[in-house]
A and B are shown apart, each in its own frame.
Chain A
């Protein structure tokens, strides 16, 4: 199988001695929508920096569509489009100039670049601002400008580092739709995000990185299936329901709210059945926290404990 991205034994030690990546292995299939998650400082941006040649690696191998970045860097770069975490365009240039210059760096001539810039700016609702200086844009517009810029050379892989950070919910949802559309067109998308709901909704496969190591790398469905207990919150009609649910752990938050833990071998029907028998009507139901969030916290905590143990063993 042709992988869009193959990383093996990738390590990065910064000048001060900080070991940001401790030998990660990762494969991203062509056409995938892939989430790379991890807490702050876990090594996500370092990994992205190495893939896009903004950071020098210490050890290991990176291949983009089979092209090794050590041997065929320029070919590998042609496949990649990057939307970095921080705004990194010339704030004093107009949107059109930024896009046309970027296309030029990939060998796209001015005429084609103008056509593509018009298409991208219209799709991302920035066409009216095309002659404005980039510094005049709002935060959300700047994020969209960086997406447009990354698409100017028709990349096969789009890497987005926290693309919706600081973006309001309406715009975030519009960006999700746009990214889904790109993925349906065959573009492989690799996403890092702090919004785990975003990763759960968009991505098919996931890797969780913590303290420079991959602590989980699987598909989203399998990962979510490992969650053995889910907590749901029920808003109920009756005052002081005093609900008793056999084989369930129930907590009464207030007179109108119940919190119920449901194991994997239990069903919601059992909960509703017992509540109906007690004459308690349910008005609405929601998850206490995002499912992926619960797994993320668990995996990251496990990884941190393992590291702490390793350090203790090493110290003795």
Chain B
């Protein structure tokens, strides 16, 4: 009985979340396609042609997985951060808090919404990339697993950010000062094997390196890191962030006075 109630509640939150970002599709789905097209034109066609190969792969094909992953990361994160913070700000989060919705359903609903947007944008960007390169697929299951786990990690991150946020500025600080630098330094545009040894070590502390490389392996069959390590890093992040999110919501941090 309770499981049926929870299932309907989860479906309602997911429906609400998907409805939200599809209603404002010009703001949520179109910009990533335009941005990524510009990356392809500038880094792929104009600069890429002068760079040559990267790890035996032509530069344009090399950067495609990273660019797709960059869109997935940004959109999963920002969807949950802005949606949950808006719900807090407009106080309509109270609609869920007064209802018999278990905390895990709230977390799963918002994270699920962020994952759907991240993956949908990833799919749009992949389709756009087909205009510039012939995509090859080395292992579809690695691609699917990596994109699912990565979007879950960043959707959870966005949720935690929104729980702590007190203003709209607070939900742009983490993407601007942490997420963007980590993404650009995460091996999207280069192989970390090109870096001096010291910086290769430093790069291994960047979780995005593992996500981008696992994803690139799915397309091209090449990776700077071991696939097992990449998945372990992803799973560890999911467990830790989920535990933090659940603790914060259970205690009512930022939600209940």
Contact = CB atoms under 8 A, between A and B. Distances in A.
Contacts of B95: 88-89, 101-102, 105, 149
B12 A105 contact: yes
A36 to B, nearest CB: 17
Contacts, number: 82
Nearest to B24: A92
Interface residues on A, range: 35 or more
B91 A102 contact: no
Interface stretch (A78-86, A251-259, A281-289): A78-86
Interface stretch (A50-58, A201-209, A225-233): A50-58
B96 A105 contact: yes
Contact of B87 (A90, A108, A149): A90
Contacts of B16: 97, 101
A106 B5 contact: yes
Contact of A104 (B8, B19, B90, B252): B8
B246 to A, nearest CB: 15
Interface in A46-94: 49, 52-56, 73-75, 77-78, 80, 82, 84, 86, 88-92
B90 A107 contact: no
Contact of A54 (B86, B92, B101, B256): B256
A152 B157 CA distance: 33
A82 B99 CA distance: 10
B8 A54 contact: no
Contacts of B99: 77, 102, 105-106, 153
B256 A86 contact: no
B27 to A, nearest CB: 12
B8 A108 contact: yes
Interface in B68-103: 86-87, 90-92, 94-102
A53 B87 contact: no
Contacts of A272: none
A56 B97 CA distance: 12
A244 interface: no
Nearest to A107: B5
Tell me which of A84, A101, A109 has the highest count of chain B C-beta atoms within 10 A of its own C-beta: A101
Given A90-B92, A107-B8, A74 B102 contact: yes
A14 interface: yes
A107 B3 CA distance: 9
Contacts of A82: 98
Contact of B257 (A56, A97, A102): A56
Nearest to B7: A107
Given A14-B257, A88-B90, A91-B90, A52 B98 contact: yes
A104 B12 contact: yes
A88 B92 contact: yes
B172 interface: no
A53 B19 contact: no
Contacts of B23: 92
A181 B252 CA distance: 36
Contacts of A101: 12, 15-16, 95
B257 A53 contact: no
B4 interface: yes
Nearest to B97: A54
B10 to A, nearest CB: 9
Contacts of B37: none
A230 to B, nearest CB: 41
Interface of B: 2, 4-6, 8-9, 11-13, 15-16, 19, 23, 86-87, 90-92, 94-102, 252, 256-257
Given A54-B97, A97-B19, A105-B100, 17 more contacts: A55-B256, A73-B100, A77-B99, A82-B98, A84-B94, A88-B91, A88-B95, A89-B92, A89-B95, A90-B87, A90-B90, A101-B16, A101-B95, A104-B9, A104-B11, A105-B13, A107-B6
Ordered nearest first, which 9 A-B pairs have the shortest CB separation? A104-B12, A107-B5, A105-B99, A88-B91, A74-B100, A77-B100, A90-B92, A107-B8, A52-B98
